[in-house]
Structure 1
Amino acid sequence: MPSKLSSKYLQAIRHDDSLPIEEEAVNLWMKDLDNNFRWVLRPILQLVFAVLLHIVWFIKRLPLPQFSAHQFLQKTICWFCTHFVSPEANLLILRHFATESNILNFLAENTNHEHRVDLYPKTINDMLHNTFVNHDEELFECFIKLGKSNTSNLSKIPQENQWSSWQAINMDEFSITRKKTQILDFETSHALFMCLFCFLLKKDEYRDAINGFNLDQSIAIRIGRIIDDSSLTEYAYNKYPQYLLGPWNLGQRFLMHGFFTEHLYAKLNELRLNELRYNEQQNK
């Protein structure tokens, strides 16, 4: 099968920098798109597991005893990532922990709140501790601690942006041991994970997790007020957090959440570097 990067469209998006995104993230995504299995297995598996997900979702919402198995869930995911998920997809997953942690820490730090997120795994095994469940809970905890986004909160914002909690992403710090069996692309891997998450989380835990994406718009609004850039809301595909959704179209919403954090991380990191250069010039 010829390389998909020979497509004129893929060449175009490879060079389009209209939306902020780091070169490393673009390269990983282009390699993921060039995965032959993505174009053969993904449509079939997404259909099968989407049907299965809705069946599991229905069963979990019946008046039956609720159960969860967080540790087993995380061990299974890490084992699957180690043996079957492509290195590019694994690196995108690890980057996502870091991008969202930085965004939430910037938001808290620049509104004078103490809550910090420390989820920066560098290997697949690190995700046994910096888990996906913790990832969701930290997002909710951040919003609980932030409270209302009103004029009184905005008046507490310091004149200069604060970056002490920011950890710039260095791809050399990530470590993935490549295996010949690691063939599955990002979206196919997520299709396989969806049912497992739904089955091994309590019904409200899973409902909250798949609706947490809708806080993207709120994050963009709040950070846009801090840096005086209302255009950030254009990055958010997932919106209106009061409107709770089920598992329909979950794969796309999950993927767009990942793009949102990459775009916003790149925007903020560019701002951080510009401020750093400006301060260095002023100190000369």
Structure 2
Amino acid sequence: MSKPAADFRYDHHDPEDPSPWLALYLDRSTPLPDHVKTAWLQDSSSKSRQYLLPFLRPLCRALIIVIQVVKTLMPKRWSHSTLLHRLLVWGLKRYVSPQANWLILRHFHLGSQILAFIAANSPVPIDTSPLTPANIDELKDHVFVKHDINLFNFVIRLNQALREAGQEMQAPQSVDFSMLEEPPLALQEMPQGRANVVDLQSAIEFFTPVYQLLLTDNDFWRAANSLQLDETIGIYTAQILQAPQHLILLNNKHPLVPMSTLRAGYRLVLHGLSTEMLHALLMRMKAESLKQSREHSPTERRHP
């Protein structure tokens, strides 16, 4: 096991007053790699998460209700996606913590890789539309909306192709892990201003009513309902890997039962964490697959 980061050192453990953050960091029941877990726990243990979120969450949920009432009086197609993404980028760059920004950018890369993994191992050919923003400014290209659209389009295209071919998702003879890699994103390159202190959960709770206000009802509901496809993507992956036990890590479940948008912010955080865990699991399996290939390679077995 790698040495813990400075904020989670063994010598800070007090048996009479154990740190919950150290316990979560050292726990290996979930497949998060240390550098991701460190960023996640640093963000979760911040003062913003402790003191801002409890006040911000009920306020933003009340705004969701107010905005829903207001939008019943507005034209159905009223939408300002360009303004939305410019506001999101402005807020991320100026107020959101480096760890949160890094995790947000990672999410698009990881989601694209997971869909590519399912597509590559599907019994039918299926195209994907990867989103790989290299920095926060690239999110202006409607990336948040495209992320939700891509997910639904992927599920529709995959299942159309499976139905037409009379096939079911199943384990391939050899699993292809080639598309999986660590995203080329550096935490130290995220904005580091004095005001960049807002944690991931607070930022998401605040941005959710903004997202609702500047998109159509259809776009907002689609975004909220996309979170329940976590189970769908998890099942596809489990069928490919023949490992259904990993579905226990999912929290956004039952896609046939749409949930209220009031908890969309909290569920979005769970969605991000589930994506990180699934990608970490696949990366671990990729490493094991490469190790087994080397062990069975005649070149590797040959003695000098």
Q: What is the TM-score when the length of structure 1 is the normalising length?
A: 0.91
SS in structure 2 at match of 1:249: helix
Pairing partner for 2:153 from 141, 151, 157: 141
Deviation at 1:40, TM superposition (A): 1.4
Instruction: Deviation per CA, 1:162-195: give whole Å up to 9, x if none.
Output: 1343343344387313111111011111111011
SS in structure 2 at match of 1:238: coil
1:122 equivalenced with 2:137 (yes/no) = no
The equivalences for 1:1-284 within 5 A come to 8-62=19-73, 64-111=75-122, 112-129=124-141, 131-147=143-159, 152-154=167-169, 158-172=172-186, 175-283=189-297, 284=300
User: Bigger radius of gyration, 1 or 2?
Assistant: 2
SS in structure 1 at match of 2:283: helix
- Please list every run of at least 4 consecutive aligned residues from structure 1 whose deviation after the TM superposition is greater than 6 angstroms: 148-151
Deviation at 1:153, TM superposition (A): 2.8
Which consecutive unaligned segments of at least 5 residues does structure 1 have? none
Which amino acid counterpart does residue 250 of structure 2 have in structure 1?
A: A
Q: CA RMSD in A?
A: 2.1
2:30 and 2:188 map into 1 onto residues whose CA distance is 25
Which consecutive unaligned segments of at least 5 residues does structure 2 have? 1-6, 13-17
1:101 and 1:242 map into 2 onto residues whose CA distance is 24
Deviation at 1:237, TM superposition (A): 0.4
- Per mean C-alpha deviation after superposition, the further-off stretch among 157-166 and 76-85 is 157-166
Aligned length: 280
1:161 and 1:248 map into 2 onto residues whose CA distance is 39
Instruction: Deviation per CA, 1:180-233: give whole Å up to 9, x if none.
Output: 111101111111101111011110110010011111111111110100101122
Which amino acid counterpart does residue 118 of structure 1 have in structure 2?
A: P
Instruction: Deviation per CA, 1:92-120: give whole Å up to 9, x if none.
Output: 10111112111111111110333123212
Given that 1:120 and 1:130 are in contact with CA atoms closer than 8 Å, whether structure 2 keeps it comes out as no
Deviation at 1:24, TM superposition (A): 1.7
SS in structure 2 at match of 1:224: helix
Deviation at 1:41, TM superposition (A): 1.4
SS in structure 1 at match of 2:261: coil
Instruction: Deviation per CA, 1:134-181: give whole Å up to 9, x if none.
Output: 1111111110111067882336x5311113433433443873131111
Given that 2:180 and 2:282 are in contact with CA atoms closer than 8 Å, whether structure 1 keeps it comes out as no
2:26 and 2:185 map into 1 onto residues whose CA distance is 20
2:172 and 2:241 map into 1 onto residues whose CA distance is 11
Identity value in percent: 25
Instruction: Deviation per CA, 1:63-110: give whole Å up to 9, x if none.
Output: 744311111111110011000101111011011111211111111111
Distance 1:174 1:211, change over 3 A: farther
- Per mean C-alpha deviation after superposition, the further-off stretch among 254-263 and 142-151 is 142-151
Which amino acid counterpart does residue 144 of structure 2 have in structure 1?
A: F
Given that 2:172 and 2:240 are in contact with CA atoms closer than 8 Å, whether structure 1 keeps it comes out as no
